Amino acid sequence: MGQGEPVSSAYLGTLETADPLYSYLVRDVMPRVRLDVRNPTFHVSRLSGSNLVYRYQESASRLNLIGKFYTSAEAAKGPKLIGEYHNLRKARALGLTGPPNRVVRPLGSEKRLGLGLLEEYVDGRDLDHYIRRAAFEGRHDRLRARLSDLAFFLSEFHKRTTSDFPLSLGRSSDYFERILAKLSRKGLVDEHLGRVFRKLKDAWLERDCMKNDRRVLVHGDATPTNFIFPESRGCIAIDLERMRPDDRMMDVGMICGELKHSFLWRTGNKYVSEEHIGHFLSEYAGHFGQPEKVFRSIARRNPFYMALTELRIARNSWLDREHRRRLVCEARECLAWGLKLS
């Protein structure tokens, strides 16, 4: 398994040699990966759950590639995929190219083929795999180990991109409002509850602790399926489409919110995730020169970003409505509780 662990894939056959993509792979991509195969054969599979995402496996070398495509009708998708290609290159330029901390390698982007991004296929399990095993099989030790790997990756990613610019909370405020508006349209937040959330949000954004940091580059979509763990220790980040300068807590808090949701969804117990959240925060802070100071800083801000993540997840219609309501309630409690911290 690997590359976000698709549930299944549909085998489509081999890539025809007359296809322009075949020429592109042979002429442009194979030299980049130093692959010398005469008359290569590429087996093509379409990944389930994806729109135009395909896996290409060269039969002789077993080289695996992932291609993300867009059509002329998808006006916004093309620039996003091309932007992800450049984001991956920028992230790897930080030195995150080999174990233990690595960003997936981009190998090309070709507008004339509608190919937004071609990247390497990476083997491993995603974080959600380890969360499931902890929830259903009691394998909490393996999850803790992988959270340690992820904390190391994120700490390196953030340290290497720390800027001199102070935090601006306008983006977080706007994002909060967009999520509330969507939840309101879905009937999960009524007018009264919306006012409660906005009051809590404003109280949070006025706190000095929310501003006492510097902007870093964040992954921007730190969900469990976007981090792959090979058999050996280490972490590989994929899907950097939303990478941008922001508060480090957009990544750190999102992981914590995802842990809360995942265990609540799978076990019904809102407290099972607490030890893993504490472990992850402690491991992240431990990679900085003043770990106690960093831990205090992130722990005080974490409830806001955890709640934001819970509300974000509650938008998903594939979750049952009762769980989505529980997430909204959890977010409200998290915001109110966090304001009581000194």
Domain boundaries, position 293: 125-338
pLDDT band at 89 (very low <50, low <70, confident <90, very high): very high
DSSP label at 120?
A: E
Task: Tell me if 310 is assigned to some domain.
Answer: yes
Kindly report the number of other CB atoms within 10 A of residue 5's CB atom. 13
**pLDDT score, position 191:** 97
Mean pLDDT over 305-318 rounds to: 97
Kindly report the number of other CB atoms within 10 A of residue 137's CB atom. 9
Mean pLDDT over 282-305 rounds to: 97
231 plus 321 within the same structural domain: yes
β-pairing, 115-120 vs 101-103, is unpaired
Task: Tell me if 247 is assigned to some domain.
Answer: yes
167 plus 102 within the same structural domain: no
Instruction: Say what the pTM is.
Output: 0.94
DSSP 236-279: EE---TT-EEE-THHHHHHHHHHHHHHHHHHHS-TTTTHHHHHH
87 plus 210 within the same structural domain: no
91 plus 224 within the same structural domain: no
Portion of the chain with pLDDT greater than 70, in percent: 97
**pLDDT score, position 50:** 64
Task: Tell me if 3 is assigned to some domain.
Answer: no
pLDDT at position 1 over 50 = no
pLDDT at position 14 over 70 = yes
35 plus 112 within the same structural domain: yes
Least trusted range by pLDDT, from 32-36, 77-81, 328-332? 32-36
* CATH classification of the domain holding 278: 3.90.1200.10
SS3 content of the chain, % helix, strand, coil (to 5): 50, 15, 30
276 plus 328 within the same structural domain: yes
Of the three residues 78, 98, 120, the one that is the final residue of a domain is 120
Give the closest residue to 183 by CA, choosing from 87, 316, 277: 316
Over residues 201-255, the pLDDT tens digits come to 999 999 999 999 999 999 999 999 999 999 888 999 999 999 999 999 999 999 9
Of the three residues 98, 120, 142, the one that is the final residue of a domain is 120
pLDDT at position 6 over 60 = no
Over residues 97-133, the pLDDT tens digits come to 999 999 999 999 999 999 999 999 999 999 999 999 9
**pLDDT score, position 75:** 78
275 plus 144 within the same structural domain: yes
Separation between Cα atoms, residue 3 and residue 128, nearest integer Å? 12
Kindly report the number of other CB atoms within 10 A of residue 193's CB atom. 16
Mean pLDDT over 269-273 rounds to: 95
Higher pLDDT, residue 74 or 49: 74
Over residues 322-337, the pLDDT tens digits come to 999 999 999 999 999 9
Mean pLDDT over 180-189 rounds to: 98
CB 320 within 8 A of CB 341: no
pLDDT at position 76 over 90 = no
DSSP 61-90: T--EEEEEE--TT-TTHHHHHHHHHHHHHH
Task: Tell me if 2 is assigned to some domain.
Answer: no
Of the three residues 77, 95, 120, the one that is the final residue of a domain is 120
